[in-house]
Amino acid sequence: LAKTTQPISMDSYEGQEVNITCSHNNIATNDYITWYQQFPSQGPRFIIQGYKTKVTNEVASLFIPADRKSSTLSLPRVSLSDTAVYYCLVGDFFPNAGKSTFGDGTTLTVKP
Amino acid sequence: DTAVSQTPKYLVTQMGNDKSIKCEQNLGHDTMYWYKQDSKKFLKIMFSYNNKELIINETVPNRFSPKSPDKAHLNLHINSLELGDSAVYFCASSHGGVPETQYFGPGTRLLVL
């Protein structure tokens, strides 16, 4: 199993760029890296996914170095509504998905 | 139009009781999951289920059993509830292909007294 490690918490201010790094030293060849966002009293929500290099969508960017042992979620110009817990997930598709492991999550607090 | 729904939203019960949580998805996905999130927000997978293949997290007590009447439903039965079972339980589904994206339900908050 590819275990992941993330910072427990991060603080930021509105308008700043936030980078959250996830370490996954024993990532397997078939594993993808997925980030989820969770607001209080809600289920996690998909943000972005990648395999290598850089992926960008309307919400975030994901940077993955060549060795794939870590990944960085980048949130541009955060707002108060970005305050949430962010999870990194490393895993494959079913049936191996049953062995995927979520990181412990990073609680991002955006201040005015 | 909820993609993944769970019932009930809240469940308060006594130790030793047996309870069930229902999950339904209308996304046409063929893979479903159950997760447990404890008070520290750690999110742990319990089961994943694709058609008739079940993948069980070996740390899950056998008091927990998933049951899938059809591809759109994956229910969670819990026997002889214990205090430590108190948590939020999330159902999720995915297409099962590569790459995989999971869609989560709103969660069921279980409190065992």
Q: What are the boundaries of each domain within chain A?
A: 9-111
Tell whether A91 lies on the interface with B, counting CB pairs under 8 A: yes
For residues B47-73, average pLDDT: 85
Q: Provide the shortest C-alpha distance from residue A108 to chain B (in Å).
A: 13
Q: What is the pLDDT of residue B96?
A: 65
Tell me how far apart the alpha carbons of residues A82 and A80 are, in angstroms, rounded to a whole number: 5
Q: Provide the shortest C-alpha distance from residue A21 to chain B (in Å).
A: 17
Contact B90/A44, CB-based, under 8 Å?
A: yes
Please provide the average confidence, as pLDDT, over all residues in chain A.
89
Q: Is pLDDT above 90 for A93? A: no
Closest chain A residue by Cα to residue B105: A43
Q: What is the pLDDT of residue B98?
A: 57
Tokens of A26: 């024993």
A9-111 has which CATH code? 2.60.40.10
Three-state DSSP state, A100: coil
Residues of B in contact with A93 (CB under 8 A): 96-100
Whether the ω angle into residue B99 lies within 30 degrees of 0, i.e. cis, is yes
Which CATH number applies to B4-112: 3.50.50.60, 3.30.450.20, 3.40.50.300, 2.60.40.10?
A: 2.60.40.10
Which residues, at least 6 apart from B42, have a Cβ–Cβ distance to it below 8 Å?
A102, A104, A105
Tell whether A13 lies on the interface with B, counting CB pairs under 8 A: no
Backbone angles phi, psi at B101, to 5 degrees: -125, 125
Q: Identify each DSSP E strand in chain A by its residue range.
A: 9-13, 18-23, 32-38, 45-50, 53-56, 61-64, 70-75, 84-91, 101-102, 106-111
Tell whether A104 lies on the interface with B, counting CB pairs under 8 A: yes
Q: What is the pLDDT of residue A103?
A: 74
